[in-house]
């Protein structure tokens, strides 16, 4: 009887050791599995508006972009410019924002339009009009993309000094994938004569 009990106890010890070894090997094999790393893409936005508390709206827009698109890595100075393509008594404030995201270009567009709507943007039939906030996607990595809703890079940024100046401030060496020129070169060739200057808040 005593010998039987000793054998049973020995079996339990060895079986427990085997079971623990199986768990250890299983855990090691999981650690050795290839880890899928999500590729992050760089998205460059131009944000701007001429209605309401313009500076606060820009700050709020950046916070929304970070919470819904991805981590913000660069932000330009704020630039002030006259309305482009129409006349209005209030000037625009514009800023370039760079974010890292795992969203697709269309997903980014959906979220920026949702942010605009929540912030009081009212879209009018006329493309150029006053607004609280406008969030344009200028670049998505080096992708060249075109659909009925979105074109990348932004098709008119080379015509707009208010987009080129803040871009040039933080990514002057960025090469436009269509024109094969840097932002600095494109800005030097831009014919836009509207005045664009760094915004200095009133004290």
What is the predicted pLDDT for the residue at 39?
Answer: 85
* pLDDT of 177: 97
Sole residue written with tokens 């015509």: 159
pLDDT at 13: 44
Whole-angstrom CA distances from 162 to 47, 127, 192 are 11, 17, 9
- Kind and range of the H or E run holding 56: helix 54-68
Identify each DSSP E strand in 116-199 by its residue range. 134-140, 145-146, 151-152, 196-198
CA distance 24 to 29: 9
- What the block records as the tokens of 164 is 């080129």
Please name which of 159, 64, 140 lies closest in space to residue 102, comparing C-alpha atoms.
Answer: 140
CB atoms within 10 A of CB 136: 17
Which of the residues in the chain have pLDDT under 70? 1-38, 84-89, 122-129, 203
**Distances, alpha carbon 70 to alpha carbons 63, 167, 194, in Å:** 10, 19, 32
Quick check: pTM over 0.85? no
Cβ pair 158, 176 in contact under 8 A: yes
41-198 has which CATH code? 3.30.70.560
Q: CA-CA distance, 108 to 70, in Å (whole number)?
A: 10
Which pLDDT belongs to residue 83? Answer: 83
Q: Which pLDDT score, from 0 to 100, does residue 6 have?
A: 42
């Amino acid at each position: 009887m005593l010998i039987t009990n000793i054998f049973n106890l020995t079996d339990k010890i060895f079986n427990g050791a085997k079971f623990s070894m199986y768990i250890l090997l299983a855990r090691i094999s999981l650690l050795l599995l290839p880890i899928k790393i999500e590729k992050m893409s760089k998205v460059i936005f131009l944000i701007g508006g001429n209605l309401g508390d313009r500076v606060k709206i820009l700050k709020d827009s950046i916070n929304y972009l970070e919470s819904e698109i991805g981590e913000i890595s660069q932000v330009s100075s704020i630039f002030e410019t006259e309305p482009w393509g129409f006349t209005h008594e209030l000037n625009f404030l514009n800023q370039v924002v760079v974010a890292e995201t795992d969203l697709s270009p269309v997903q980014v567009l959906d979220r920026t339009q949702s942010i605009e709507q929540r912030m009081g943007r009212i879209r009018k039939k006329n493309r150029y009009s006053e607004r609280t906030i406008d969030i344009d996607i200028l670049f998505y990595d080096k992708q060249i993309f075109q659909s009925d809703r979105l074109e990348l890079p932004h098709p008119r940024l080379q015509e707009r000094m208010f987009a080129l100046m803040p871009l040039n401030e933080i990514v002057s060496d960025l090469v436009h994938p269509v024109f094969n020129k840097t932002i600095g070169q494109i800005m030097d060739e831009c014919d836009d004569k509207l005045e664009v200057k760094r915004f200095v808040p009133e004290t």
